[in-house]
Amino acid sequence: MIGYDTIKAHIAGNHYDEIKLKINLQYINRERHYIFTYNKSDLIFSFAHGITSIRFSIPKLIHGDNFKVAGIEEAKQALVIISGLTGLDFSQFRITRLHLTTNIHTEYSTRKFAVHLKKPSYFKGEMHLQNGFYFHTNQDIRRSARVILFYKKKEEYIRIESKFENRHQTHNSVGASIRHFLRHEPLVSEIIKESFYLNCINYFIATLGTTIRGPVRSEKDRIFKQHFSERLQDSYSQSLHILHNTS
């Protein structure tokens, strides 16, 4: 299944005093970040520059781990939980980061993925680590508005994450970025809409599809690309099946 993982969103105003009355915020670093743990999920708060922001993993908030990914039903539950914990209407927060993700069951290593895949269209950089690799839209990953990450999540599973971040590299705000690529306004309330979710997973599949385009270089390359394409289609089909059975 393709779904949501990490979300970061903000709302105007410093609401520290209100939230502190409801939950036990713990100060964690010099950047004035605070943490509250709920169902093994760390909720990271910031109250800098007259805004209140929160970052967390939707599936971890609901399931206690983020190996599972979140669809619309989990997103609805997250809105209720965060609104209840903070006393604020989380649906009216504005998105500044959103991760779309899936787990691919495969016998291939991340190194093999790196050999056979190419950067998606408009992505300018890539970075390789011991456990995985990144494609990113700016040469400097720290300035990239979009990042795709491949890494080993569990035995025989490769995790693929597509990340939207609020960066000036492509647009003035993540709102413009998401409107451009996903055709929607970036209120948190959007993530529980079927149209937004469909645009997300369609974008995810289309972008990853560009990583296997181009000439087939060998029989091994052909076999890998067919395997990867089939696994992506399995994730996509599962997403549609769950969506149609819950809508």
Mean pLDDT on 82-100: 95
Please give the helix or strand (H or E) that residue 79 lies within, else none.
helix 72-86
Rounded Cα–Cα distance for residues 71 and 90 (Å): 17
Q: Which of 38-47, 119-128, 148-157, 159-168 has the lowest mean pLDDT?
A: 159-168
Decide which of 180 and 222 is more confident. Answer: 222
Distance of CA 142 to the CA centre of its chain: 16
- 195 burial type by CB count under 10 A (0-12 exposed, 13-18 middle, 19+ buried): exposed
Confidence of residue 96 (pLDDT cuts 50, 70, 90): confident
Decide which of 213 and 38 is more confident. Answer: 38
Decide which of 32 and 119 is more confident. Answer: 119
Q: Which of 30-34, 53-57, 221-225 has the lowest mean pLDDT?
A: 30-34
Please give the helix or strand (H or E) that residue 104 lies within, else none.
strand 94-105
Q: Specify the pLDDT at position 121.
A: 80
Confidence of residue 180 (pLDDT cuts 50, 70, 90): low
Q: Specify the pLDDT at position 171.
A: 41
Q: How many residues does the chain have?
A: 247
Mean pLDDT on 64-81: 94
Q: Specify the pLDDT at position 176.
A: 53
**Would you list the DSSP string of 209-226?**
HGGG-S---SHHHHHHHH
Q: Specify the pLDDT at position 30.
A: 67
Say yes or no to pLDDT of 46 above 70: yes
Average pLDDT value over all residues in the chain: 89
Percent of the chain with pLDDT over 90: 72
The two tokens of residue 200 are 């997300």
Q: Which of 79-88, 171-180, 238-247 has the lowest mean pLDDT?
A: 171-180
Mean pLDDT on 49-61: 95
By DSSP bridging, strand 51-57 and strand 146-154 are unpaired
Mean pLDDT on 92-118: 94
Mean pLDDT on 22-39: 90
Mean pLDDT on 128-149: 90
Angle subtended at Cα 173 by Cα 94 and Cα 184, rounded to the nearest 5 degrees: 60
Say yes or no to pLDDT of 178 above 60: no
Say yes or no to pLDDT of 182 above 60: no
Q: Specify the pLDDT at position 143.
A: 84
